[in-house]
Amino acid sequence: MGIEKNGVNIECVQGDISRQDDVDVVVNAANSELAPGGGVAGVIHRAAGSELYEECKDLAPIDVGECVLTNAYNLPNTYVIHCLGPRYGIDKPEKELLSSCYANALELADGKGVESIAFPSISTGAFGYPFRDAAEVALGTVFKKVDNLKNLEKIRFVLYSQNDFLVFKDILGR
Ligand code: AR6
């Protein structure tokens, strides 16, 4: 499922963020220490190998809403962008902080000159952000940012469950 805006393809798929072999950048739903953890951070670090955490150690800690870029090692991508999303009910204002994650990641990737990026749904697992609200923030931010991108041509959301995919599909179809 996808749409085009300003020459940029915005799409959503059901799948695993660590298996997106046709995109330049994958985004990690990181913790502040950029360490391997559960959920997305777990699969990304496992698939990339231990060199990823070695590079991450020098860049940590990061703030909520902040993003940093590393190599992707054994992942089938060129870079990983690690974003720290807000913990729902704790880090406020959560909507602005979640939006910053997407906006900052898009700027960072676009500045590197890459053409494609894949996002998971940041903050909606361990960090407890209600899924539909987070999806509205994610897609709303991407829609605003696409008008200012120079290099990115494809922005993909990778949703783990079918329900989550259907929520993105519904919002994207409006
Ligand atoms: N591919 C795509 N999406 C996934 C995958 C996958 N392989 N696995 C889970 N999801 P989370 P957060 C979905 O918890 O809420 C970690 O322990 C999942 O269903 O990974 O930002 C870190 O170390 C959910 O919708 O990220 C941090 O401490 C979404 O990805 C903390 O969790 C995000 O879930 C970050 O929490």
pTM score of the predicted model: 0.98
| In the chain, where the domains are located | 2-172
Say yes or no: CB of residue 43 within 6 Å of ligand 1. yes
Instruction: Return the half-sphere exposure (C-beta side, CA atoms, 13 A cut-off) of residue 35.
Output: 4
Ligand 1, atom 13, lies closest to the CA of 160
Rounded Cα–Cα distance for residues 42 and 27 (Å): 13
For CA atoms 165, 168, 172, 174, the dihedral sign is positive
pLDDT digits (tens, 9 = 90+) for 52-90: 999 999 999 999 999 999 999 999 999 999 999 999 999
Residue type, 29: A
Query: What backbone torsions phi and psi does residue 4 show, to the nearest 5 degrees?
Result: -115, 135
Read off the pLDDT of residues 16-32 as tens digits, 9 standing for 90 and up. Answer: 999 999 999 999 999 99
Ligand 1 neighbourhood includes 121 CB (under 6 angstroms): yes
Name the CATH superfamily housing domain 2-172: Leucine Aminopeptidase, subunit E, domain 1 (3.40.220.10)
